[in-house]
Amino acid sequence: EAQVTQNPRYLITVTGKKLTVTCSQNMNHEYMSWYRQDPGLGLRQIYYSMNVEVTDKGDVPEGYKVSRKEKRNFPLILESPSPNQTSLYFCASSIRGPAGDTQYFGPGTRLTVL
């Protein structure tokens, strides 16, 4: 089944404890992206990747890191999480970029930072 998977689905952590949210797609998509969703703000892009080893900042990259060492995986890293990073996170992928392709979203990761 073609899909985007994320792990974990739910995570409660404490301020400053490094964490990684994994994202994997099995559709051979070139493009992958991370969004965060907050009430009243819709979804905002954190980072994106047009291809392996190519990543760039989105609108809200502060406090996040990503890597794209292989096509199928695009982990989101929070080196020192803070409470303002409590949010619902989505990974998305598409064949190319979003300009002409449908974005396929993962199931979301709800992160709480205490």
For 55, the token pair is: 């990543």
- Kindly state the smallest distance separating residue 36's Cβ from other proteins, in Å: 11
Site for other proteins in 33-92 (CB under 8 A): 33, 35, 40-45, 48, 50, 56, 58-59, 88, 90, 92
Q: Does 2 bind other proteins (CB under 8 A)?
A: no
Per-residue interface string for the shown chain with other proteins, residues 6-35, x marking contact by CB under 8 A = -------------------------x-x-x
Residue 35 neighbours by CB distance under 10 Å: 24
Question: Rounded distance, CA 80 to CA 114, Å?
Answer: 12
Question: Rounded distance, CA 14 to CA 60, Å?
Answer: 21
